[in-house]
Chains A and B, each alone.
Chain A
């Protein structure tokens, strides 16, 4: 069991007049090798939740289990560095963390911190840059001169170069162009297929629908649901109750059903959906 939350709460600024209860008794179990989406409205505690995975935030109540480590409220965890190597966390708007003179150096910064030699780090950095779609010509440029989307790729490459076992992404595609976002998602998908456990915060239901295995819904710091993506979207009423707009395909199915079409519950991709529509149109004239 790589990740488990047991009655985890987090209160910012505990014991001050500014305290805010951002997570409230969260219980989660995430299986190895899954691609999990964390969704919920702004301010629902998604970013707070994921920062517990590499102990950037410590629970103020409850216990978090990550890989073979146990992080309990009130205990300062040890060996944080190895945890942070195992759990690669890409922040919301990670482009603000770039600082080195060249893109290559910046991406190699992580591996070097975790003890890789110069040579090794550069090798890993190059490989990570290729994966995120930045070719050799970018390596010697200053990361501060790149466009927003390119910076994002460099920042993500900086985490991939650390070769983490668990990859945690906070809205990785927000603000990217649609093609760039799709490419990025393909990359995460392929990393997931290679065996990495991936956790992603997102507001894009199409992405959740298309790429993820499981979904966790947060609302006001409380965990509302953790379930299989397919069964979650099979129930559009449940989605609406949680203030989530189902993906276009699901909404289209709903609308057509109102017009007299009948669909099998298991039709969940565009191809079989259009086939089915064509079949029914032909049949009924």
Chain B
């Protein structure tokens, strides 16, 4: 009891410290205050434009609120303030219309460059097709360095989270742990395995309603829309496990279709892909016979 409480406090403190220092957080931490910097060059730049916008807002806030607080203290009737008669000042009005324009341009410039780069899926080295279903994801490894693969699987909420999340289960979400981390509602049976340092192109769609594929550490989300194919890309720099969730209301279990990306070294990935490929091939030959009989009978 006590020790788990202490651990929780310790983790919270660690989370705060990391959040403050801007270190990459692979998963949401208790008391986390800010967006993760993530694990791709894109996610770092996203974090950058976010922080730029934030500090611009802080600066404007300090000026506006400062002036306001000053006015509220200085020009109180109870201090005998006598109201002035003026009601406009062209110089000031010009200043506070033009300066914001300049500030906005300064924010829009890096943002524009970033959007352009994010839209550039050229020269990708592998393609993964993501399909959203109520309430799970299918991942198809369409090609790897130009070579088509048959590997594909469905990824759903892990059994443990699923048991705990049932209404009135009485089970404690804090108990859902993996590798010393709480993974309640952020864990799946089969994670999406990706190689580190490879530019991955995603083609994203859905089969029933609209979903949205979001891993904060990759720096973006992209809607998965039935009848439409969206593109996006990533190149993960650091090996690790990165967790996210469906981000578009998609029905009753919208809160229960997490996304887990496991980034591993390229060699390890290739080995994994090879075993998956042979497993897929074996399954295909096993299926081939009965399928053929039904076909001739039909």
A, B assembled together? no
Chain B residues within 8 Å of A, Cβ to Cβ = none
On A, residues with C-beta under 8 Å from B are none
